Amino acid sequence: MNARDCDELAAPPAADRVDAPRFRARTLDVGGIAAVELVDTHGSARALFARRGATLLDWQVTDRGERIALTDGYADAAELAAQDGVRNGVLAPFPNRIADGRYRFDGRGHDLLPGVAGTRHIYHGFLRELDLAVARIGDGDDGADVLFTGTIEPDAFPGYPFALALSVAARLDAHGIGLVVTATNVGDVAAPYAGGWHPYFRLGDAPLATLELTVPASCTIDADEQLIPLPGDAAFAALNARPTLDFRHPRPLGAQVLDRCYADARPDADGVIRSRLRDPATGRTLTVWQRGGLIHVFTGDTLARDARRSIAIEPVEAMSDAFNRSEFAELLRLPPGATRRFACGAEFRAEPAALPLPTPAAVATA
């Protein structure tokens, strides 16, 4: 899927069409989860989204006759409800963490965890826990799509007295999947807002250590033990001085443990930022694209299930604790009536794996 395909969803096919379109969308129940399935009827791809949070539950493709899992989503309704690891969750109205669950906006302090003492962790917003409406589904020859909609009402969540109309447009086509996360301020005052996506990617059963990662960023964000970025300029570290964290050129993950944000990402000529995960043994590649923002990478070492089976490559509009950072104040401010969109997605490509060079003995006997 090209990034531009997510700018506007394709229209459904005409009602009087006789031949069935290649890509189909339908609502269904999967083990007690209300969901929408987008499928390529030629058998090459399938994506399954839960109505809860527009969460991607599963994405699979067929390559060389083999069914390949590309994400590691929630396995059942209990996992979806528990939200451990925020598997493939859509992040709004903030991605990642807010220090101590507190922030200030327009001169007023807000507490997202009132009455909570001790450990005060809050992260990845509220959208992922909303039961969204299916506003539209569409079939087509070049892709299938679904539009999820929902709202955040003032004070529906402690510490966030703002009104947002939210939507997530999801699309499957022959190349991959794409999302557009949209927020409109339907209240009377400005609201702090940033969006993102928290997908966990894999390339079938290939071990994470063998996969090559590429992240086109020249800066990483240093954080404390609570994963809150350091104050001011101390948070920003040039990757030229951090070679073990530098993935501007593809290299295997090995035993590298990552849970950090990357900034100053260099877009391609079309303005799209692209990170990549590649299996050199098979030539299979996932390209994670986004229009602007930062990239958070998490190797899944602390997941309750299947640690390090997948890697989260997260397109986000802002870094952790952005609600408390002055450099993000203008980006985060969403005036009354204003709308902001964040487009991202992933593409799958299969290329022949590089063949090993023949041994001298093989050459001699050829």
- pLDDT, tens digit (0-9, with 9 covering 90-100), for 278-313: 999 999 999 999 999 999 999 999 999 999 999 999
Asked if pLDDT for residue 360 goes beyond 60, the answer is no
Asked if pLDDT for residue 6 goes beyond 60, the answer is no
In angstroms, the CA 149 to CA 186 distance is 14
DSSP sequence for 266-302: PP-TTS-EEEEEEETTTTEEEEEEESSSEEEEE--TT
- pLDDT for 354 equals 60
Asked if pLDDT for residue 57 goes beyond 60, the answer is yes
DSSP sequence for 262-275: EEEEPP-TTS-EEE
- pLDDT for 52 equals 98
Alpha-carbon Rg for the chain, nearest whole angstrom, is 21
Confidence of residue 5 (pLDDT cuts 50, 70, 90): very low
Average of per-residue pLDDT across 169-194: 97
What CATH number does the domain located at 3-354 have? 2.70.98.10
Average pLDDT, the chain: 92
**pTM of structure:** 0.91
- pLDDT for 325 equals 96
Average of per-residue pLDDT across 26-30: 98
- pLDDT for 18 equals 54
Asked if pLDDT for residue 14 goes beyond 90, the answer is no
pLDDT digits (tens, 9 = 90+) for 251-268: 999 999 999 999 999 999
- Only one residue has tokens 């807000």, namely 110
Q: Per-domain residue ranges for the chain?
A: 3-354
Asked if pLDDT for residue 317 goes beyond 90, the answer is yes
In angstroms, the CA 1 to CA 345 distance is 8
- pLDDT for 43 equals 79
Q: Dihedrals φ, ψ of 99, to 5°? A: -55, 125
Asked if pLDDT for residue 355 goes beyond 70, the answer is no
- pLDDT for 119 equals 87
- pLDDT for 155 equals 82
